[in-house]
Structure 1
Amino acid sequence: MFKATFLATAVTLSALQAPTTAAAEALTILAGDLPPMFNGDGSGREAEVISSVMERCGHTVTFEIQPFTRHWKSYAQGKGDAVATVPLGMPLPGHATEAYIQYQNGVSSLAENGAAYSDLSALSGQSVIAFMGASDIIPGLKDAVPAFKSYKEIADQIGQSRMIFGQRVDAVIGDGMIFAEYNRQLRDQAGELMFDPNQDVTFQAIFAPSDYGMYFRSEALTADFNRCHAEAVADGSLAAINRAWADRYRDTLGDQYLGH
């Protein structure tokens, strides 16, 4: 009798201590339209990272692409099973994952200028453009702006590439891979432009990488994602994905993008 009771108790304790996992699901994940992290067709560097992690856990994913930042609002309003590219600490419904991806902000400029940017002070006296909200996100940027010749933030990031190639600004602050992708898109339109999009550009990663997480409505799916992400980091799968994407833009990024 004692032995049977002991075994039953042991089984119960084992079940309670076992990690919670979710049954295989087909998930809809809201994501921002931010090439090449997420392209309009649901492909991209970040899309590949998330898909790889969730498939490792036995889940399938479909990405619903929306304008960046709107995807957070749509998720908060009840759409989707999860939402991607969420700044750590941002309050949203559901359960936050650990950081799963990094973006690398830095300074991009025309190579012919030969500028070396080691920190924000090197931009003193220069005309600078950045992505919308950059001065609230990048540490020290807001304090450095008064020393710039000019400073503007724009939501249309392909416009940043237009301005650098048109030599209307000296430098662009933003993620190097996103900048490089929009440069590629402009090169496809070369015959239609009033400037040369084939000018060489350089990227210098003077800022610390930015971490992003996800939110899932299900706590079990959040646990699954964290577990499978850790496994993919440990076996090198995610490093291989990130390196392959950096290789596509090597002419702009050099070795400056997250060490890849």
Structure 2
Amino acid sequence: MRRIWRTPVVPTLAWLLACLLLSAQVNAAERRLVVVGVHESYPWSYSGAGNVIRGIEHDIIAAAFESQNIDVQFQSMSYSRLLTEFQGKRLDFASPVAIDVPGAFFTEKYLPFHDVAVTLKSRGIAIDRVSDLSNKTVIAYQEATKVLGAEYSAAVSTSRYTEMANRGEQIRLLFDQRVDVVVGESRLSQCLAEVLFGRDQLTRHTVFPQVSYGGATWDRKLLDQFQAGLKAIRLTGQYQRILSRPCPPLQ
């Protein structure tokens, strides 16, 4: 019987390229894009060179979602606008969310914030309790009276009090001695003072409790995915490595 030899079929280049394109399309379809709003707040989330958003909070959120095959489009804004945009459901995910938003799903806490009062060490101002903020010139972040509660609101009601979105400007006003006290997140205040004016020039007055914050979303599935991603980066040590970074440059 005559033996028939068959020549192996060699895939053409066009066929291989078509397969690669199809695979890429399938992978792209499997990846979800979510819009995440963050508070413009160096060093947690801030716009650096080229308006690229970066920072500790940014990197934690990006890493958690990346572990779940989710792409993220970040938007950085003032805290008042962040809450407005989230409550208007124009964001898939917002961080941090420090007030109750009915109907939203809240993540576990991943931002170890500690609001403090800071003063210039050279001025020797004593602040041992919240009520000591009375009768001083105080500047704080937007919505601080809502976040810090009734005792704080009562204290600053007798102060020359302003809430401002621009944290760098707050620190500049402090060093220009146009305000006595800046109320805000400890790491933020220390890093801004360090990169703008040098180290070890502030006194931290720890009159508020340390409170960690998380984010919020309207989508229960997205919440579960973020929680799983956060757990994953904690297990690998990536989360702690991000938190342990020194103060980064502003640009």
Normalization by structure 2: what TM-score? 0.71
Residue 44 of structure 1 aligns to which amino acid in structure 2?
A: G
Is contact 1:110-1:199 (8 Å) kept? Answer: no
Q: Secondary structure at the match of 1:37?
A: coil
Distance 2:90 2:217 in 1: 11
Larger-Rg structure: 2
Residue 61 of structure 1 aligns to which amino acid in structure 2?
A: V
Distance 2:225 2:80 in 1: 25
Is contact 2:131-2:152 (8 Å) kept? Answer: no
- 1:248 maps to which residue? 247
Is contact 2:80-2:142 (8 Å) kept? Answer: no
Distance 1:66 1:152 in 2: 19
- 1:89 maps to which residue? 100
Distance 2:239 2:126 in 1: 31
Distance 1:198 1:212 in 2: 27
Q: Secondary structure at the match of 1:173?
A: strand
Q: Secondary structure at the match of 2:53?
A: coil
Give the unaligned 5+ runs of structure 1.
Answer: 1-22, 188-196, 250-260
Residue 58 of structure 1 aligns to which amino acid in structure 2?
A: N
Residue 36 of structure 1 aligns to which amino acid in structure 2?
A: P
| Aligned residues: CA RMSD | 2.9
Residue 239 of structure 1 aligns to which amino acid in structure 2?
A: Q
- 2:35 maps to which residue? 28
Q: Secondary structure at the match of 1:158?
A: helix
Aligned pair 1:55/2:66, yes or no?
A: yes
TM-superposed deviation, 1:118: 3.4
- 1:46 maps to which residue? 57
- 1:141 maps to which residue? 152
Q: Secondary structure at the match of 1:106?
A: strand
Shift in CA distance, 205/241, structure 1 to aligned 2, threshold 3 Å: farther
Residue 208 of structure 1 aligns to which amino acid in structure 2?
A: P
Is contact 1:88-1:212 (8 Å) kept? Answer: no
Matched length = 214
Is contact 1:28-1:63 (8 Å) kept? Answer: yes
Shift in CA distance, 48/204, structure 1 to aligned 2, threshold 3 Å: farther
- 1:225 maps to which residue? 226
User: Percent identity between the aligned chains?
Assistant: 22
Aligned pair 1:70/2:81, yes or no?
A: yes
Aligned pair 1:128/2:138, yes or no?
A: yes
**Correspondence for 1:159 among 161, 169, 172:** 169
Which structure 2 residues correspond to residues 206-221 of structure 1 after superposition, within 5 A?
206-221=207-222
Which structure 2 residues correspond to residues 164-203 of structure 1 after superposition, within 5 A?
164-183=174-193, 186-187=196-197, 200-203=201-204
- 1:114 maps to which residue? 124
Shift in CA distance, 146/86, structure 1 to aligned 2, threshold 3 Å: closer
TM-superposed deviation, 1:165: 0.7
Residue 237 of structure 1 aligns to which amino acid in structure 2?
A: Q
Residue 134 of structure 1 aligns to which amino acid in structure 2?
A: A
Could you report, residue by residue, the CA deviation over 1:193-212 in whole angstroms, capped at 9, with x for unpaired residues?
A: xxxx8882233333122333
Is contact 2:134-2:158 (8 Å) kept? Answer: yes
Distance 1:153 1:33 in 2: 15
- 1:9 maps to which residue? none
Structure 1 stretches (4+) deviating beyond 6 angstroms?
none
Could you report, residue by residue, the CA deviation over 1:16-62 in whole angstroms, capped at 9, with x for unpaired residues?
A: xxxxxxx6423221223222221122211110111121122232322
Distance 2:145 2:214 in 1: 21
Distance 1:66 1:186 in 2: 21
Distance 1:78 1:132 in 2: 20
Q: Secondary structure at the match of 2:79?
A: coil
- 2:11 maps to which residue? none
